[in-house]
Structure 1
Amino acid sequence: MEENELVADLRNQFKLSATSLAEAEAKRNDAELSRPVSECIANLTLRYAEQLAKDLKLFAEHARRKSVKAEDVVISAHRNRGLTTSLTSLHDELRAQEREKARRDRRKGKKFSREDEMVDPDYTPNSDYTP
């Protein structure tokens, strides 16, 4: 399968998923969705995802990185306060889980360099830091 065909197939699958989600939400809220409205939602969702991908790429490039990080996703949601709050909360939960896993690994005897053990990701020079 050529790359163009693959991209077209992925776009179609994405639009089908968006349509399916919109119809499920309409049904859950005892509403009906007409075919043109459903297609419009799918097209808007695809365009939004394409724009989001471009924004994330630019944020990563601006930070001189080749990969997108969670912080880029949070920044991209700055126009929507509720979404920003949710993403920030999720990001904080994931970071806490990663720190907990690292602590468990240390207790199990996995070796880390002395430098890794001394660095706390929550420390900032101007904060009232207490471990």
Structure 2
Amino acid sequence: MSDVSDRPDGAPAEPSPWNTIDDLWKWLEADQPFGGREGLLLRMLKLSEEVGEVAEAVIGATGQNPRKGVTHTWQDVEAELCDVVITAMVALRTLTPEAREVFARHLAGVANRPRAGGSGT
């Protein structure tokens, strides 16, 4: 099944980001100094590092460090958040070759959860 299909308005659909994630995963796996469980755990820890970079960018964008002042922009925060998403997707792909399906199922489940203030039915 192709990841690219025509939309009802005739415009081509964007390719799935999972193709890029698979390419990144293959590249990382080919140059992985640690394999097995250790490599998997290190890939998961990378996610914490990226989340820390989001925090650093938010602090820098708001100037909350009086010693440093404003050191980042909100565009830096956006970029760091994108890095978190990419890193999480690569980590999921490292954990399972069925990452696309696992994510799709989970996202559907989250989307179907009752929301506060809704009817809940």
TM-score where L is the length of structure 2 = 0.32
Larger relative contact order (CA 8 Å, sep ≥ 6) = 2
Structure with the higher fraction of residues in helix conformation: 1
